[in-house]
Amino acid sequence: MISSVPHSDFHSFDLHRDLVRGIDDLGFVKPTPIQGLAIPPLLDDRDVLAAAATGSGKTAAFGLPILNRFLGMRRGTTRALVLAPTRELAAQIAEHLNELARHTRLSAAAVFGGVNPSPQERAFRQGVDVLVATPGRLLDHMQYDYARLSGLEVLVLDEADRMLDMGFLPDVRRVISQIPRPKQTMLFSATMPEPIVKLSREMLHEPLALNIDRKSEPAKGITHQVYPVPAKLKSSLLVELLARNDFDSVLAFTRTKHRANRLADLLEKRGVRCTRIHGNRSQNRRTEALKGFKDGTYRVMVATDIAARGIDVEELALVVNFDVPHLPEDYIHRVGRTARADAKGVALSLVSPEEEKDLRSIERHIRTRIRRIKLDGFDYRRNPNERFEIPIAERIAEIRKRKAEDRARSRENAERRAARQQGTPQPGPARGDSRRDNRPANRDDGGNQPLRRWRSDQRPNNRRGRRY
């Protein structure tokens, strides 16, 4: 296992001058530890198994050797595939690779669900040099001949532990079974649970192991803070902290999508420019939210753990754990959004008494006792003006009520349509009302065939549009 950094700057790597120009344009000077460890063996075509946390610079660690390998090759063939667990991470990797390749003719494209698949199909057909994909959407495309990836040379599995957490490993194995055996394979993961180690044995050939015995830990430039607070006062304390500090960009994590919505709504009511990102939002809305957060339209973005994978914001000032994560690894992933690439940042956790156990587990993992802070002038004994979270029983009751009302309306409409077809007068809009119920009914009592309406599953030739 290699654990030292052999290179002190990017110019000492054996990289093409056009890639070095791109690195200089991005302002990169000193390689991060994982870059210093991984780039030399990857340039020598070695397979690599690496432990690398979020924010460690691993995209450039595998991206630069891939781009360097393809310079001078004939274009029009996809030669590298990067598998990522989330849409945001796939988009971020593709964007970063294109930035590194700005002075070359090489390009990368992202493939993920929730958007129009046509541009992705064009990327396959045109043979984009590097394809960055989520496993599910890639398998959708691989049903068709244009997505065979017959010229593939390099395979990268990024954030493999999150793939495991999200249940994607069966899809990953399906992808591997349908592509040619790569000439070079790389696997990056923040942690190395047994299923990931087993997968690495299946994928990699005599890999070079980098940092795999090193315990995952947050970046050195992070200042950790804990604010003990009753659960019912968390939102009020966060509003007060935002009012007293001038952090320009704040990423706040919640445990669930419902709590993300509630916190975003509350912050908006308090005048905080806020957006949200989680799995229930459409891809377009998630993209708009991330764009607005990056360009400063929104000061705060509320996110869940999975949706936040791939969020890469330069100089992110503050990460807030509105809910303390259950696992230390999730804490490290969250706070890794700040202090990226050896920068400085603050990670602030609002901890209720019920979450102290999880906090102690985090402290043992990072081997640090985090400072507890009490905010002067904040009333910790007051009652909030409104409940932050609606109990799940009430939410379920409300959902059931809405569904019952929808079913009742559907029955009423069905009875009305049946009565019109039989010619039975039914109470309806007054004469002259232009609503659709006043239109002539389709009847077949005079020999005329009723107008046929195709349902979505009864289109001519049974041709149905594929959903992505």
Cα separation, 141 vs 146, in Å, equals 8
Cα separation, 162 vs 300, in Å, equals 25
pLDDT at 267: 95
Q: Could you tell me where in the chain the CATH 3.40.50.300 domains are found?
A: 10-210, 222-392
Q: Which of 87, 130, 78, 84 is nearest to 109 (CA)?
A: 130
Condensed to tens digits (0 to 9), the pLDDT of residues 420-443 reads: 888 755 555 555 444 444 444 444
Condensed to tens digits (0 to 9), the pLDDT of residues 276-303 reads: 998 788 878 888 998 899 889 999 999 9
Instruction: Share the mean pLDDT of the chain.
Output: 85
Residue 313 has what DSSP assignment?
A: -
**Confidence category of residue 342, pLDDT binned at 50, 70, 90:** low
**Confidence category of residue 155, pLDDT binned at 50, 70, 90:** very high
Contact predicate 62/189, CB 8 Å: no
Q: Which of 6, 77, 75 is nearest to 43 (CA)?
A: 6
Condensed to tens digits (0 to 9), the pLDDT of residues 127-154 reads: 999 999 999 999 999 999 999 999 999 9
Backbone angles phi, psi at 204, to 5 degrees: -100, 150
Mean pLDDT of 5-17: 80
Helix pair 356-366, 328-335: axis angle to 10 deg: 70
Contact predicate 86/54, CB 8 Å: no
Contact predicate 264/275, CB 8 Å: yes
Mean pLDDT of 2-27: 81
Residues 243-275 as b/e (b if ≥16 CB within 10 A, e otherwise) read eeeeeebbbbbbbebbbbbbbbebbeeeebebb
- Percent pLDDT > 70 in the chain is 84
Which residues lie closer than 8 Å to 6 by C-beta, 6 or more apart?
A: 36, 37, 40
pLDDT at 453: 41
For residue 207 the two structure tokens come to 């890999």
Q: Which of 244, 259, 366, 237 is nearest to 323 (CA)?
A: 259
For the cut 90, the answer to whether the pLDDT of residue 170 exceeds it is yes
**Confidence category of residue 52, pLDDT binned at 50, 70, 90:** confident
Neighbours of 289 (CB within 10 A): 23
For the cut 80, the answer to whether the pLDDT of residue 349 exceeds it is yes
pLDDT at 460: 44
Helix pair 58-70, 17-25: axis angle to 10 deg: 150
For the cut 70, the answer to whether the pLDDT of residue 461 exceeds it is no
For the cut 70, the answer to whether the pLDDT of residue 448 exceeds it is no
pLDDT at 215: 64
Q: Which residues pair with 301 in a beta bridge?
A: 251, 275
pLDDT at 270: 92
**Confidence category of residue 83, pLDDT binned at 50, 70, 90:** very high
Q: Which of 146, 63, 147, 155 is nearest to 104 (CA)?
A: 63
More confident residue, 381 or 165: 381
For the cut 80, the answer to whether the pLDDT of residue 418 exceeds it is yes
DSSP string, 291-320: HHHHTTS-SEEEE-TTTTTT---TT--EEE
Cα separation, 84 vs 5, in Å, equals 26
pLDDT at 6: 54
For the cut 50, the answer to whether the pLDDT of residue 73 exceeds it is yes
Contact predicate 53/276, CB 8 Å: no
Mean pLDDT of 17-45: 92
pLDDT at 434: 46
pLDDT at 281: 85
Determine whether domain 222-392 maps to CATH 3.40.50.300: yes
For residue 441 the two structure tokens come to 């009914």
More confident residue, 399 or 180: 180
Burial class (CB in 10 A: 0-12, 13-18, 19+), 81: buried
Cα separation, 277 vs 337, in Å, equals 15
Q: Please state whether the predicted TM-score (pTM) of the whole model is above 0.85.
A: no
Strands (E), 373-448: none
DSSP string, 139-159: HHHTTSGGG--TT--EEEE-S
Q: Which residues pair with 80 in a beta bridge?
A: 130, 154
**Confidence category of residue 185, pLDDT binned at 50, 70, 90:** very high
pLDDT at 229: 96
| CATH superfamily of this structure's domain 10-210 | P-loop containing nucleotide triphosphate hydrolases (3.40.50.300)
Contact predicate 24/60, CB 8 Å: no
Mean pLDDT of 113-129: 94
pLDDT at 176: 95
**Confidence category of residue 358, pLDDT binned at 50, 70, 90:** very high
More confident residue, 72 or 133: 133
Backbone angles phi, psi at 222, to 5 degrees: -90, 130
Mean pLDDT of 97-114: 95
Q: Which of 221, 219, 168, 231 is nearest to 196 (CA)?
A: 168
Q: Which of 72, 78, 108 is nearest to 93 (CA)?
A: 108
pLDDT at 356: 96
Condensed to tens digits (0 to 9), the pLDDT of residues 198-241 reads: 999 999 999 999 976 566 677 778 899 999 999 999 999 999 99
125: left (phi over 0), alpha (psi -120 to 50) or beta: alpha
More confident residue, 188 or 310: 188
**Confidence category of residue 162, pLDDT binned at 50, 70, 90:** confident
Neighbours of 329 (CB within 10 A): 19
CA angle at 384 for the pair 377 and 400, rounded to the nearest 5°: 155
Sign of CA dihedral 455, 459, 462, 463: negative
For residue 404 the two structure tokens come to 């019952």
For the chain, helix, strand, coil in percent to 5 are 40, 15, 45
For residue 337 the two structure tokens come to 């959004």
Cα separation, 66 vs 415, in Å, equals 64
Cα separation, 374 vs 323, in Å, equals 18
